[in-house]
Amino acid sequence: MRILVTGGAGFIGSWVSERLLDRGDEVVVVDNFDPFYDRRSKERGIETLAGRAGFDLMEADIADSPTLKRALSGVDRVVHLAALAGVRPSILQPARYMQVNVEGTVRVLEACRETGVRHVVVASSSSVYGKRSQTPFSECDPCDRPASPYAASKRATELVCANYNELFDIGITCLRYFTVFGPRQRPEMAIHKFVRLALHGHPIPLFGDGTSGRDYTYIDDIVNGTLAALDRQDEAFHIYNLGGAQPVTLSKLIDAISEAIDTKVAISPQPWQPGDVPVTSADIRLAERDLGYAPQVSLQEGLRRFVLWYRKNMLARA
């Protein structure tokens, strides 16, 4: 198959693209290298893909409809990962997040409709569940109280996808990713940031009382679930949780990082942050049933792999 991956130079996108190439698919990546974080991080993420047979990179914005349509030439399916990420930054730029995440998705789906692409996988987020206390989170739970503009943009994206499926019979699967981590992770994300601070002898910020919990999911498991959704052939609309199914408190995460780097880390107490939610926890039974999704990498093993990657690729460049 020939697959278009929007945001394919990013953290999840680069791994999805690499796996697709490894299994023999052709991959077209569209990425605008948004300065949300250092461009060099993305370039390093896809440097091993450049020059491989079947790989094309188009540096372009998904808002550029003519370029997007050219990128879709000969494409069988689309993995739409391009988006502005981050809960806290979205509070400062809500309009931009809506424009990029919601309008950008409309442009991708419009281009698919006009070029005849009938199967699309779209990245959503666990943030759509808001400040729920009842766990685990199920796909049938109401998601009508988002805690940040980012979360609202992702929920709106899901509704747009449902509408395009209803009107235009495009098979669309939205995947609610739960706190993905691993090599090439964005530098502002918690595990990358905490490991970086600890290895350089700086304290790790402890937001709130340390009891907030997250369902950390290793990148390999996310890629497996994404490809399983991509390979499923139907014209329905689906939403699936992709998580690790084992929420971990912030305090326990910091303890696990200390163990992974074999160093006791210092703590810097911080207040709760606007837009944060107390817990995320994925009910993955639907993904297990329909996609064969089964997370394999524990937090401890994932941290071990991430620290090895960081020491080899990031400390060596410092």
CB-based contacts of 256, cutoff 8 Å, min separation 6 = 248, 299, 300, 303
Residue 104, CB half-sphere, CA atoms under 13 Å: how many? Answer: 24
Residue 283, CB half-sphere, CA atoms under 13 Å: how many? Answer: 12
The pTM is what?
0.96
Q: How far apart are CA 181 and CA 194, in angstroms?
A: 12
For the chain, how many structural domains are there in total?
1
Beta bridge partners of 180: 217
Tell me the residue range of the domain where 280 lies. Answer: 2-317
For residue 316, the model assigns a pLDDT of 59
CB-based contacts of 250, cutoff 8 Å, min separation 6 = 206, 207, 208, 210, 211, 212, 213, 214
For residue 56, the model assigns a pLDDT of 96
For residue 58, the model assigns a pLDDT of 97
Catalytic residues: 150
Which two three-digit tokens encode residue 317? Answer: 């460049």
Beta bridge partners of 64: none
For residue 23, the model assigns a pLDDT of 97
CB-based contacts of 317, cutoff 8 Å, min separation 6 = none
For residue 183, the model assigns a pLDDT of 97
Residue indicated by tokens 């990179």: 57
Q: What DSSP character marks residue 210?
A: S
Q: What 3-state DSSP class applies to 290? A: helix
Q: How far apart are CA 123 and CA 241, in angstroms?
A: 11
Per-residue pLDDT of the chain (318 residues; tens, 9 = 90+): 999 999 999 999 999 999 999 999 999 999 999 988 889 889 988 998 988 999 999 999 999 999 999 999 999 999 999 999 999 999 999 999 999 999 999 999 999 999 999 999 999 999 999 998 789 999 999 999 999 999 999 999 999 999 999 999 999 999 999 999 999 999 999 999 999 999 999 999 988 888 999 999 999 999 999 999 999 988 999 999 999 988 999 999 999 999 999 999 999 999 988 888 899 999 999 999 999 999 999 999 999 999 999 999 877 565
Other beta carbons within 10 angstroms of residue 298's beta carbon come to 14
DSSP characters over 125-173: EGGGG-S--SSSB-TTS-----SSHHHHHHHHHHHHHHHHHHHH--EEE
Burial of residue 111 (number of CB atoms within 10 Å: 0-12, 13-18, 19+)? buried
Query: Rounded to 5 degrees, what are φ and ψ at 20?
Result: -60, -45
- 111: CATH: 3.40.50.720
Query: Rounded to 5 degrees, what are φ and ψ at 242?
Result: -120, 105
